[in-house]
Structures are given as structure tokens and as C-alpha cells.
Amino acid sequence: MKLKQYQVDAFTDKVFGGNPAAVVPLLSWPDDSLLQAIAEENNLSETAFFVPAEKAFQLRWFTPLREVDLCGHATLATAYIIFEILNYSKQVITFETRSGTLFVEKNDTRLEMNFPVRMPTPCELSEILARGLGQRPIEVLAADDYLAAFDSEATVRAITPNQALLGQLDLRGVIITAPGMEADFVSRFFAPKYGVPEDPVTGSAHCALAPYWANKLGKNILTAKQVSKRGGNITCEVKADRVFLSGCAVMFMESEMSL
């Protein structure tokens, strides 16, 4: 069996930036063990698989260790392939996923994703989290991930986490964030229990970050920068229970798998 695969850098306008994702078009779903094996072989933070349906595309995401409920950068990468390589003629792509129906709209060179808000709520700071970060945040909240807020971008950039300790936490991962110097806010994201020690740019984390900072800053349109080694930029807009995340994407590689 031969399968096409594309590798796309998401939330960037140049290769070697943003977050790389593999995208695999399928005509039907094979056994989940094959999907997981492909993701493990790719060893990227996410591999996305999609199957065309009557009025939408079914979309799933896998880390090297497991399937996840929501992934932003791999959704952006998949939409890029459908628009640019498969020449999809409509302006909006509909995806059916484990997190419900998602939409991606093409606006010139940018793609805008329509995702559900994941409003974080305050929680206690556990000693495992504090030791895992090596710093005590000024505030801790939780949604799909822990969100640890700090007072400066410099602090966020300087943190060297203990991945073994963070992997013991009960939620998916840990977001660290602070006000930005050139953007409204900055962040980093760690998910070692999912095989992702540090994710370069994490769209799904901004489903919690955007409403958090919208409340803090008193505005619904925000600029965000994930300050990983590769880095990436996201524009966020909060509207009621939805968050709109927009960014660019570029293709790095096209390949064919022999299975």
C-alpha cells in the first residue's frame, strides 16, 4: 500500500519555523494501530489523518504515543493541504473531530480556525507542578492543561522544566504564559506524558490562553507568540464560546509511504 504524506510548518510563513505536522490523506480508516505506528515513525508532535465525508472531512490527530482530542497546528496544516494541494474550491473547510465540528476559513495567505473556548478555572498549585517548573507562578488555572501564569516574558523563556515531574501530572500538559514584549502574551507548552517534551507552537493551548488573556487585558483580539526554539505567531479572537485562531503555513516536504 502506498500513502501520500505531507509535512507542513504551521503558524509561520517560512520553513524551519512554527510547528511541523505530518498530514496523511486517506480514503477510508485503517486500523488504529497503523495510524499510531505512522505517528510514532514520524516522531513529530502530531500526525494528522483525514478522510473525506459527504459534507466535511473526518480528522484525527496522533502524537508518537497516543491519539489526542484536539490539535491546532495539525488542523492548520491539514487545511493548508486541502486548500493548496487538493485545490478545495470552497472558502471554509468543515472538520468532524473528537472535539466536535471545527471550521477553517481561507483569508488570503492566512487560515483562520474556529475552535471551542476552553476557559481555565483557578486551582491549587501542586508541589509537583512547582518543582517541575522550578518556579512558583503567580497564578495557576486548569482546563485541558494546567496554565501557569508568570509576571514576565523573560521568566517564561528561562524556565527549564523537569519533564519527568511534569509527566506525573493528571492533565494533558502544562502551559506557561506571561505578558509579551512584542505580543499581547507569550507562552510555552509541555506535554511529556504524550511524548511531546516541548511543543513548538500549540494551537489548542490558545483555546484556554485566549479567553484568559482577553479577560486580563480587556480586549477580544490579541496577538500571541509561542517562545519555543522554533517560535510561532497566532492571532486570537474570542467570540462568546468560540476562539478564532489565525496563522500562516508552508509546505516543507512531500513524500510517499510504502506499507
Whether residue 131 sits in one domain with residue 232? yes
**Is 46 a residue of the active site?**
yes
Q: What percent of the chain has pLDDT over 90?
A: 97
Whether residue 147 sits in one domain with residue 37? no
**Average pLDDT value over all residues in the chain:** 96
According to the model, what pLDDT value does residue 38 have?
Answer: 98
At 177, the pLDDT band (50, 70, 90 cuts) reads very high
Q: The domain that contains 235 carries what CATH number? A: 3.10.310.10
Whether residue 100 sits in one domain with residue 146? no
Q: Which of 46, 112, 153, 198 is catalytic?
A: 46
Whether residue 126 sits in one domain with residue 66? no
According to the model, what pLDDT value does residue 161 have?
Answer: 98
Check if the beta carbon of residue 126 is closer than 8 Å to that of residue 169: yes
Per-residue model confidence as pLDDT tens digits over 106-131: 998 899 999 999 999 999 999 999 99
For the chain, give the DSSP string: -EEEEEEEEES-SSTTSSEEEEEEE-SS---HHHHHHHHHHHTSS-EEEEEE-SSSEEEEEE-SS-EES--HHHHHHHHHHHHHTS---SSEEEEEETTEEEEEEEETTEEEEEEE----EE----HHHHHHHTS--SEEEESSSEEEE-S-HHHHHH----HHHHTTSSSS-EEEEEE-SSSSEEEEEEEGGGTEEEES--TTTHHHHHHHHHHHHT-SEEEEEE-SSS-EEEEEEEETTEEEEEE-EEEEEEEEEE-
Tally of domains in the chain: 2
According to the model, what pLDDT value does residue 10 have?
Answer: 96
Per-residue model confidence as pLDDT tens digits over 136-145: 999 999 999 9
Tell me: pLDDT of 197 over 90.
Answer: yes
Give the mean pLDDT of 141-158: 98
Per-residue model confidence as pLDDT tens digits over 33-85: 999 999 999 999 999 999 999 889 999 999 999 999 999 999 999 999 999 99
Whether residue 142 sits in one domain with residue 125? yes
Per-residue model confidence as pLDDT tens digits over 11-45: 999 999 999 999 999 999 999 999 999 999 999 99
Whether residue 227 sits in one domain with residue 125? yes
Whether residue 129 sits in one domain with residue 83? no
The residue range of the domain holding 45 is: 2-116+245-258
Whether residue 11 sits in one domain with residue 105? yes
According to the model, what pLDDT value does residue 71 have?
Answer: 94
Whether residue 234 sits in one domain with residue 134? yes
Whether residue 64 sits in one domain with residue 140? no
Whether residue 210 sits in one domain with residue 107? no
Tell me: pLDDT of 170 over 90.
Answer: yes
Give the mean pLDDT of 166-181: 97
Whether residue 127 sits in one domain with residue 234? yes
